[in-house]
Amino acid sequence: MAQSPNTFPLRSRTTALVAAALAGLLVLAGIMISPGTAHAASVTATVAKDSTWDSGYTASVTVKNATGSTVNGWKVELTLPAGSSVGSHWNAERSANGAKQTFTNVGWNAALAPGASTSFGFTVNGTGEPTACTVNGSACSGGDLGPGPDPTVPPTNPNASPVQEHGKVYVCGVNLCDEDGRPVQLRGMSTHGIQWFDHCLTGGSLSALADDWKADIVRLSMYIQEGGYETNPRRFTDRMHDLIEESTARGMYVIVDWHMLSPGDPNHNTERAKTFFAEIAERHADKDNVIYEIANEPNGVSWNSIKSYSEQVIPVIRAEDPDSVILVGTRAWSSLGVSEGSSHTEITANPVNADNIMYTFHFYAASHGNSYLSELERASNVLPIFVTEFGTQDYSGEGANDFVAAKRYLDLLERQKISWVNWNFSDDHRSGAVFTEGTCTAGGPWAGTSRLKESGVWIRDQIRAGA
């Protein structure tokens, strides 16, 4: 069944993970019924903010069966103050009567065994927090609506790698979350096409990216045409296997980038994509750090065509790897359609029929001004977005750097907890490549700033600032 445009399903979570996430909640007193009024053995509900922005927030509700018998069906009622309303929701049915918002179970999460939990979520347009909450007619318990886990809290082990710190990530509402349900923002670099700049990807350069740059993630860009995968599928697939292993050994997340660009219709490569992703997923399904990007920059093609392609390729990945994040390219060079006169609303009206997916957005700060930035902000309130490519230059990845415009984007991405990778980790002659020409041929040095262009120094600072 096709999903409603207002729903984005959570991956199912174990009771232990839910309990761990709840343990980290910050309590904001006086908003909802105090825990002291809860029944000793009942169905309970706990509400928490997951992320906030200037005009709204995302919240999640965990319903738990604290009785000794199975509960079949639940209903949570929340009252929002004037000026605030629910936008999107997931993992529950919703109805509204004035200020009262009623959420009820969907088929798969109706029955709760003794001690079992389930969660649903929603976005709020406005900053007002619920003034009342009931679950199955009784007062909610287990904590008030607070600001949620603090994403700035350092890991218990300051020497932990990104993957050790966050574990297997998944999509929760409009956010990327770590294994404990905490919204997370990953920052890192994209390689250039490995058919041209494979010599920039060595043990030394990847170690510098992980240890000196403090990158959380690396995007491995494998062009399909333009001298790439289609010329020698076996060689390029084997190289991607090697790079995934190398990046995994350094504790970084990995985006496996199916870098289709010309022709712009991803359906031109559907069978190739199925072959490639089936092998990649089968080989690396046991890893916690692999993310699949199935179409780099669709262009000159409708959203319906992109959706059709995605719904053919995603099941191939899911057959081998049922719960890793998959990234779906958007219309008009992954601009959410803006570069071809459209917007994110064509996606919300007709989303890809798959779970645990995000939609990609690309920008180049010197070319893509306020209309792109505004569309990204609107889309990120209702869609899970991942910026898998951006530059501080023009859309061709060259020319003067516009760090002021780029910082406006990065500030928005930080507020919305949107993960990003920068283009690109090579010594190409264009200003968007971070290393000076000849660095890769010379074998470095990779760490520090001595061989970095202006853009490289700037982006390294931005990545390190999030470490």
**Among the listed residues 180, 64, 171, the one whose alpha carbon sits nearest the alpha carbon of residue 112:** 64
ω into residue 445 within 30 of 0, thus cis? Answer: yes
Residue tagged 């309990």 (tokens): 19
Is 297 a catalytic site residue? yes
The single-letter DSSP state of residue 183 is B
- CA distances to 114, 212, 311 from 153, rounded to whole Å, are 33, 21, 38
Q: Are 449 and 209 in contact (CB under 8 A)?
A: no
The single-letter DSSP state of residue 406 is H
- Using CA atoms in the order 254, 255, 258, 260, what is the torsion angle rounded to 10 degrees? -130
- CA distances to 127, 285, 339 from 375, rounded to whole Å, are 21, 34, 11
Is 77 a catalytic site residue? no
Q: Are 380 and 285 in contact (CB under 8 A)?
A: no
Per-residue 3-state assignment (H helix, E strand, C coil) for 449-462: CCCECHHHHHHHHH
Catalytic residue among 165, 297, 375, 377: 297
Q: Are 58 and 87 in contact (CB under 8 A)?
A: no
Q: Are 298 and 306 in contact (CB under 8 A)?
A: yes
Q: List active site positions.
A: 297, 389
